[in-house]
Structure 1
Amino acid sequence: MTSTFSKRKTKISKNELFSLAKLVFLIPVTIIIFLLIFLWSSSSTIISGNVIHLCFQSRKLNDLYCISAGSHSNLEASSSLSSNLTTSATKFVDDLQQKSTRLGIPIPPGYHAFRNGMVKSDEELLVAYNDVEDQLEMHRSWTSTIQNHNATLCDGRGVYVYDLPTKFNKDLVSQCADMVPWVDLCDYFSNDAMGEPVHKLGKGWYQTHQYSLELIFHSRVMNHPCRVHNISEADLFYVPFYAGLDVLRWHFKNVTNVVKDSLGLELVKWLESQPTWFKRSGKDHIFVLGKISWDFRRYSNSNWGSRFLELNEMQNPVKLLIERQPWHLNDIGIPHPTFFHPQSDNDITTWQLKLLNESRKSLISFAGAARPDAPESIRSILINQCTSTSDQCTFMNCSSGSCDQPESIIELFIESEFCLQPPGDSPTRKSVFDSLISGCIPVIFDPFTAYYQYPWHLPQDYKKYSVFIDQEDVRNMKVNVVDRLMKIPAGEKQNMRRYIIYELLPGLVYGDPKSKLEKFQDAFSITMNNLFERLTRLEV
């Protein structure tokens, strides 16, 4: 893959290479790789057995957000990430020691060996990221050639929707009033989980909750043209288990891990009672999970989330998530639900024309909040840079509750040319999709926010729709984001915006369950067509 990030190279002396060769016999290569990757990801690294956890601190939690990878044998390099790795092993271990002390996590094995000055080359450091990109290439190879919604071809293939006991879905929705302590979700789950209409924004706009994907997807599959009612005619099997709601209801309650895991274990037992579960060892089964992968991959030292996706039975099925685990091939990222749910092609074209005619009064906007309890976060730096140039940048402070209303967010974004999208509690942000459907060019600071997440809905060439600024450069005060964005030519901005509005926008929204799109494929249609294509490719 062609490199798209700026290069940072390491010069290695012969003595250092000799030391490296000796040390490889003492410390597994994978451990070394992931320890050094720590700097690029601005995270802490925990190693347990053969599993490496790259961890981010959450402002809401006492635990860490972690994405994990097992050991790898492929030592080929991936050049597109080489620029995101810093090259000082000494600086790395100093930072690691400080973070380990502050966060109360153990110093990883091999720390003292690193402290003695061992340095790795870019090629050897990039194993894990090569694996990520290889997986995304595999995902892209499953992309269907169908160009519009009306051309959806079942071609003799059918999707069967399991009629699960209600405890796995409907009964969870009925707990909407007290699922989260500070908000009643019942209104959000109305209107097929689109929420209450937002008339100020026009037709097709709703106050959709960010965790509504499971319900929205279920409604759409029930009306899919390839749905079959005879299980023997099915090629794909959709399991409407609302695992996201299941885990959400326990997030802020004092219950044991046994309780958090119980419904997922019951679901697996139920599936094992179905003959179709064994047809392809679960590889033809689809789960849609409306929360991030980490919420279902609880590691040993944590009390957060469930172990649902760590179960052996859950390794073969496809899991569609708003944020995928980067080193699991069967985790596939699909867009966060936005506030826009068009019913017709005309709803989409009307919105596209509106966006093209907007004057874009502000060069930059940032809707978010600082992370004072997460020193690694670049948000405070971005806020300072934004507010110090108020004539170029508009800051909406979400800690005041001003971001709770869809009209506030969308109106801000449609008046802005660029929307800053730094990582929050996890790498991805719903706000990325809110900005895209508003014609606002997202500014990405971490490749895991978008580039390594959504291969079916965002193009491989990220420069077509976004601007990338390395968060390490922001953190080290090497770049002023406002100054950088001011230098982008008007023609380049116009090309990106037109691409976003015409090429991306229709495929990033989930149409109303009653929608009759003929010209466009929405996010749901793209996902279903690609799932059928994947099945075809696996059978070849």
Structure 2
Amino acid sequence: MPMILNNNNNGTSLFSVPTLFLLFILLSIFSFSFFFSFSSSISHISSFSLQSSSSSSSSINVYVADLPRSLNYNLLHRYWSLNSDSRLSTDPDSEIRSTHISKTLDFPPYPENPLIKQYSAEYWIMGDLMTPPDLRTGSFSKRVFDARDADVVFVPFFATLSAELQLGMAKGVFRKKVGNDDYLRQREVMDFVKNTQAWNRSGGRDHVFVLTDPVAMWHVKDEIAPAVLLVVDFGGWYRQDSKSSNCSSPEMMIQHTQVSVLKDVIVPYTHLLPRLRLSENQERHTLLYFKGAKHRHRGGLVREKLWDLLINEPGVIMEEGFPNVTGREQSIRGMRTSEFCLHPAGDTPTSCRLFDAIQSLCIPVIVSDDIELPFEGMVDYSEFSVFVAVGDALKPSWLVNHLKSFSKVKIDKFRQNMARVQPIFVYDNGHPGGIGPIPLDGAVNHIWKKVHQKLPMIKEAIIREKRKPPDVLVPRRCHCT
């Protein structure tokens, strides 16, 4: 009769052969059953997760705050009622003004004035949301009409147009409150939204403001800091006004702790030059091209130093000016006949020049250590741009020699990659007044996809705020990287 245990001379216990075989069979059956059950569960969970991920990422629910038209489309009527913009030597909108059509339309066109057009994201985002639902089948944002059903609340204030109207009509009072129509509009917006249940539920954290002009909503930035801000970069937020009593006045200080790549979204400037398709590209004879103002402030001081280094370099063209009516054709020609386009920091780390270069298939050379770029994670800029540290760029002849080191194969690959991403940076949907279906692969949809990525963080911030004891203030901390 087999023994289950047998004590041998070494004091160890051994299984007999028949017993081992029986145990092996039982363990095999159990392991197979467990593996099959576990695999089925994992498969079910994975399938559920994929389905949930797919459904949750198919759209974002957006409620549009019920602001009066005086804060958006009527600002356009106000712009078109002006004779011209005194800041420009020639008026690119004179032809539209002469027709008087813009004054009779419910949804007037956005200005061609380059000082304003470069910031037109507010117009195109609003136009998409105003489009009838049956035409919005390609929009990533789904408009809902009850704030309780919304993921985010869009605040339809044309903040840039409001600021630019003030700057064009009475720049001297822009930083003051008395006599400043832009300030009054900012105050009207904030008084309205802060008295809504939606704002009180979230403290404004799920509200979305478009602030493409760095000075938009300048007087109330502290109040909107918890919200999701659509900005072209953080340059305007890092600034402290040196004229304000040694920066001691709280009204004149803008704390960089109010913005972050974690909660806010970097959006593209609107390009001012037309798109050049890869099939239309011609031979390029200039190595490096730049058109813009030589003298800038703050971080833009590097531009003046680069100018002095590059102005006499063979194969480099440095031109003073802005792509307005008189300089536009010059800019088109310069960017389309150059291999590389210089993009140094200006008053802020970026400008619409970058997006003009992309639409012109001119490889951007980015010299701006603090730059933030739109749609990072969706777009890999290193596949079509050259990034250069400021310290290297300011070494004599370094930049030119670096650009000359790129092979034709590498340059062609840069340009092919750039052609693929050109549509991502385009706002215009081709419809009058901006009301109509947007391109699936355009800028507006990509903006809402980036906002959608912020939703878990928004919800977490709202929940964390609820558990704070009354009257406890938690200082803002910047988590910018």
Match of 2:330 in 1: 408
Shift of 1:473: 3.5
Q: Secondary structure at the match of 2:441?
A: coil
- Picking from 230, 238, 258, the partner of 1:320 is 230
Q: Does 1:395 align with 2:311?
A: no
1:159-204 C-alpha deviation (Å, 9 max, x unpaired): 122231233223432332378532458568968645569xxxxxxx
Matched letter for residue 521 of structure 1: D
* Preserved CA contact (<8 Å) 1:208 1:338: no
Q: Does 1:418 align with 2:340?
A: yes
Match of 1:173 in 2: 76
- Picking from 150, 159, 162, the partner of 1:234 is 150
- Picking from 282, 288, 308, the partner of 2:220 is 308
1:7-62 C-alpha deviation (Å, 9 max, x unpaired): xxxxxxxxxxxxxxxxxxxxxxxxxxxxxxxxxxxxxxxxxxxxxxxxxxxxxxxx
- Picking from 440, 445, 452, the partner of 1:532 is 452
Match of 1:335 in 2: 268
In the alignment, the residues of structure 2 paired with residue 316 and residue 380 of structure 1 have an alpha-carbon distance, to the nearest angstrom, of: 36
Q: Does 1:161 align with 2:64?
A: yes
* Preserved CA contact (<8 Å) 1:219 1:513: no
Match of 1:275 in 2: 197
In the alignment, the residues of structure 1 paired with residue 414 and residue 428 of structure 2 have an alpha-carbon distance, to the nearest angstrom, of: 24
Cα distance change of structure 1 residues 384 and 526 upon mapping to structure 2, 3 Å threshold: same
Q: Secondary structure at the match of 2:171?
A: coil
Larger relative contact order, structure 1 or 2 (CA cutoff 8 Å, min sep 6): 2
In the alignment, the residues of structure 1 paired with residue 456 and residue 408 of structure 2 have an alpha-carbon distance, to the nearest angstrom, of: 44
Matched letter for residue 160 of structure 2: G
1:371-414 C-alpha deviation (Å, 9 max, x unpaired): 18889723344334444244x22333217x77755443233212
Q: Does 1:219 align with 2:127?
A: yes
Match of 1:50 in 2: none
In the alignment, the residues of structure 2 paired with residue 270 and residue 402 of structure 1 have an alpha-carbon distance, to the nearest angstrom, of: 37
In the alignment, the residues of structure 2 paired with residue 310 and residue 352 of structure 1 have an alpha-carbon distance, to the nearest angstrom, of: 43
In the alignment, the residues of structure 2 paired with residue 164 and residue 472 of structure 1 have an alpha-carbon distance, to the nearest angstrom, of: 47
1:60-92 C-alpha deviation (Å, 9 max, x unpaired): xxxxxxxxxxxxxxxxxxxxxxxxxxxxxxxxx
Match of 1:466 in 2: 385
Larger Rg: 2
Cα distance change of structure 1 residues 220 and 207 upon mapping to structure 2, 3 Å threshold: farther
Cα distance change of structure 1 residues 235 and 513 upon mapping to structure 2, 3 Å threshold: farther
- Picking from 467, 485, 490, the partner of 2:403 is 485
Q: How many pairs were matched up?
A: 354
* Preserved CA contact (<8 Å) 1:439 1:500: yes
Cα distance change of structure 1 residues 366 and 457 upon mapping to structure 2, 3 Å threshold: farther
Matched letter for residue 153 of structure 1: S
Q: Identity rate of aligned residues, in percent?
A: 24
Cα distance change of structure 1 residues 414 and 467 upon mapping to structure 2, 3 Å threshold: same
- Picking from 484, 506, 512, the partner of 2:423 is 506
In the alignment, the residues of structure 1 paired with residue 326 and residue 266 of structure 2 have an alpha-carbon distance, to the nearest angstrom, of: 25
In the alignment, the residues of structure 2 paired with residue 494 and residue 186 of structure 1 have an alpha-carbon distance, to the nearest angstrom, of: 37
Matched letter for residue 291 of structure 2: A
Q: Does 1:262 align with 2:184?
A: yes
Matched letter for residue 164 of structure 1: L
Q: Does 1:286 align with 2:208?
A: yes
Matched letter for residue 331 of structure 1: D
Q: Say what the alpha-carbon RMSD is for the aligned residues.
A: 3.7
Matched letter for residue 234 of structure 1: A
Alignment of 1:26-41 (within 5 A): none
The TM-score with structure 1 as length reference comes to 0.57
Matched letter for residue 167 of structure 1: S
Match of 2:306 in 1: 382
Alignment of 1:106-185 (within 5 A): 153-154=58-59, 158-176=61-79, 177=82, 180-183=85-88
Structure 1 residues without counterparts, runs of 5 or longer: 1-144, 198-205, 297-304, 342-347
Cα distance change of structure 1 residues 272 and 248 upon mapping to structure 2, 3 Å threshold: same
Q: Does 1:432 align with 2:354?
A: yes
1:273-302 C-alpha deviation (Å, 9 max, x unpaired): 32222232222211112302xx25xxxxxx
In the alignment, the residues of structure 2 paired with residue 282 and residue 318 of structure 1 have an alpha-carbon distance, to the nearest angstrom, of: 9
1:122-166 C-alpha deviation (Å, 9 max, x unpaired): xxxxxxxxxxxxxxxxxxxxxxx98xxxx9833xx5212223123
Cα distance change of structure 1 residues 178 and 214 upon mapping to structure 2, 3 Å threshold: farther
In the alignment, the residues of structure 1 paired with residue 300 and residue 351 of structure 2 have an alpha-carbon distance, to the nearest angstrom, of: 17
* Preserved CA contact (<8 Å) 1:363 1:393: yes
